[in-house]
Amino acid sequence: MPYPMNFEKQIAEEVVAGVLHLYGKNVSPESVQIQPTRKEFAGEFTVVTFPLTRSAGKKPEEVAEDLGGYLTAGGGVAQDFEVVKGFLNLTLRADLWQSFLSEALGNENYGRSPGADQGTVVVEYSSPNTNKPLHLGHLRNNFLGWSVAEILKAVGYDVKKVQIINDRGIHICKSMVAWKKFGGGETPESGGLKGDHLAGKYYVAFDKAYKAEVEALINRGKTKVEAESEAPLMREARETLLKWESGDPETYALWEKMNGWVYEGFEETYRNMGVDFDKLYYESDTWVLGKEVAMKGVDAGIFQKREDGSVWADLRDEGMDEKLLLRRDGTAVYMTQDLGTAILRQRDFPDLVKMVYTVGNEQEYHFKVLFSLLKKLGYAWADDCHHLSYGMVELPDGKMKSREGNVVDADDLMREMVATAADITQALGKLDDMTESQKEELYQMIGMAALKFFLLRVDPRKGMLFDPEESVDFNGHTGPFIQYGYARTRALHRKFGKEVPATVSGINPEPAERALLTKLYQYKKALTDAAQAYNPAIAANYVFELVKEFNAFYGKMPVIQAETEDQQVFRMQLVALTGRVIESCSALLGIRVPEQM
């Protein structure tokens, strides 16, 4: 190929040479502004000439005319140009697009850079509590963290997917206390419930009974604060936590049993989600290291131990508050555990270049404090920690509240999405030649694609309203729309009936073909941008726009019925690369694409 598949770089270098030739001035390639040409104009790349006017001593339109003539006169990258005010729109030479398509078709990893040795990144996601099942918010968390990990892997990082399982603390003790008091020995088998749902049932039961106790104490003259502290159930939960931290055998055995139920339930949910982990961390392990670190911080004068025995960090000079690290009874808090977990991960992966925490934006202050504490303790890698903050998923009637039991359960929602996909797909027909098992697999693929794409298409930093009906629209901004585009490429392959050649030559692309080529060319940049921003929405919206561009091409350019054999082959080459990129990008979102729909 005469030029590398970096057309922007080549254009910038030719503009630099043009400015020197035309005006005798030196400019840097980095100062040349290049952007995609707007759809309403001819061309694929646009040079913004306003920054070059000082070097040229001319108006932007004049600079554009001069450079357009220069770039198309000497066998450079452009075969034609158009000036729109101060913008120079360039149409690339046909042979360059042919070379691009040939090289892309011959590269099974087109757009990706696996094994590029960028270093190790740990991506944490999910990180549930073992006192309740996963819900809609966890779905966004898991899909987001898993997709970020896959995108980072695609651009060359060695990625470790991890979670910290919050399997200790007062919240776990609440479920344990309620099960002992109200459970009657119920098990997942006897109750017909997944283990995580059983634990969640007693977490809700605790809250209901606790509120009744608080109300009774208030009616007897206690203040709300006194009542919440003195309620018998809460006292028992605190005592249970102390027993657990001291290693009481009976308490520990119950904790192990209930957590075992929950882990089995989580595994089933994760399988249905299509997410996985390389390493699991448990708060029941990491809190011990965190507690040691907190006490060493006291000895070093970094943290302060008060008269009541509690340990605090003073962050007021850094614009934050004082932070509790150990309670007066010596029990640990979340921050203690997170300190231990971060340090343990650095020990496990010493070549770590980034540690990414996928956690909701309600915890932004928590992570600001955590990273500050790590720096205070002398860990320079604290600067390589990143909180991937995301907005909450809202329901039509407001936020979810797990203690009150009115959450959208993850298992239920996934089942409902698959059922909805089945209803819609059956209504559309076109499945007569599929077996029942093939149909069931298709419904699963469509339902999960609808759910994943809907939750990933929005910038993570933004909150969102989940609309199941909208997410399954085959003609909307949805996962099924993308799957349908891929299925269309496969249908064209079946009609073509033979292998698509990898070598492209002798074709001057039409505007619709150039538009599709340009969108395919942008795949690598979309992945790079998504990785740098930890933002799968960039990849999700790229593949959506690609399918839209493919549909426009398909509507304008006959493929199987092309006028000449050369046109037919070239268009099938475009179809082949489009299908591969749709499949590749969708996979990074956790979306499988079907052979037919």
pLDDT tens digits, residue range 472-515?
988 999 999 999 999 999 999 999 999 999 999 889 999 999 99
The residue to which tokens 């075969």 are assigned: 79
Q: Which among 358, 337, 339, 356 is positioned nearest to 285, based on CA atoms? A: 337
Give the confidence band of 467 by pLDDT, cuts at 50, 70, 90. Answer: confident
Say what the pLDDT of residue 74 is.
Answer: 75
* Conformation bin of residue 169: beta by default, left when phi > 0, alpha when psi is -120 to 50: left
Residue 580 has pLDDT above 70, yes or no: yes
* Conformation bin of residue 43: beta by default, left when phi > 0, alpha when psi is -120 to 50: left
Domains with residue ranges and CATH for the chain = 7-92 (3.30.1360.70), 125-129+147-391 (3.40.50.620), 410-588 (1.10.730.10)
Q: What is the C-alpha to C-alpha distance for residues 589 and 483, in angstroms, rounded to an integer? A: 12
Say what the pLDDT of residue 398 is.
Answer: 52
Q: Give me the mean pLDDT over the 64-85 stretch.
A: 93
Element (H, E) at 325: strand 322-326
CA 572 to chain centre: 32
pLDDT tens digits, residue range 406-431?
568 999 999 999 999 999 988 887 78
Residue 211 has pLDDT above 90, yes or no: yes
Complete edge-to-edge strand list for the sheet that includes strand 87-92: 33-36, 45-48, 87-92, 78-84
- Checking DSSP bridges between strand 304-305 and strand 311-314, what pairing results, if any? antiparallel
Percent pLDDT > 90 in the chain is 87
Say what the pLDDT of residue 2 is.
Answer: 43
Element (H, E) at 588: helix 565-588
Backbone torsions φ then ψ of 500, nearest 5 degrees? -85, 125
Say what the pLDDT of residue 76 is.
Answer: 85
pLDDT tens digits, residue range 506-552?
899 999 999 999 999 999 999 999 999 999 999 999 999 999 999 99
3-state secondary structure 170-211: HHHHHHHHHHHHHCCCCCHHHHCCCHHHHHHHHHHHHHHHHH
Say what the pLDDT of residue 406 is.
Answer: 57
| DSSP symbols for 367-388 | HHHHHHHHHHTT-GGGGGEEEE
Say what the pLDDT of residue 147 is.
Answer: 98
Of residues 275 and 169, the one with the higher pLDDT is: 275
- CB atoms under 10 Å from CB of 360, counted, come to 18
Q: What is the C-alpha to C-alpha distance for residues 441 and 401, in angstroms, rounded to an integer? A: 33
453-483 burial by CB neighbour count: b if 16+ within 10 A, else e?
Answer: bbbbbbebeeebebeeeebbbbeebbbbbbb
User: What is the model's pTM?
Assistant: 0.93
Percent pLDDT > 70 in the chain is 97
On average, the pLDDT of the chain sits at: 94
Q: What is the C-alpha to C-alpha distance for residues 493 and 489, in angstroms, rounded to an integer? A: 6
Single-letter amino acid code for the residue at 445: M
Residue 379 has pLDDT above 80, yes or no: yes
Give the confidence band of 402 by pLDDT, cuts at 50, 70, 90. Answer: very low
Residue 456 has pLDDT above 80, yes or no: yes
Lowest mean pLDDT among 94-108, 418-432, 559-573: 418-432
Say what the pLDDT of residue 397 is.
Answer: 63
Q: What is the C-alpha to C-alpha distance for residues 44 and 533, in angstroms, rounded to an integer? A: 25
Which of helix, strand or coil describes residue 18?
helix
Which of helix, strand or coil describes residue 153?
helix
Residue 404 has pLDDT above 50, yes or no: no
Say what the pLDDT of residue 528 is.
Answer: 97
- CB atoms under 10 Å from CB of 573, counted, come to 21
DSSP 8-state class, residue 402:
G
Q: What is the C-alpha to C-alpha distance for residues 377 and 374, in angstroms, rounded to an integer? A: 5
Q: Which among 74, 82, 79, 6 is positioned nearest to 38, based on CA atoms? A: 82
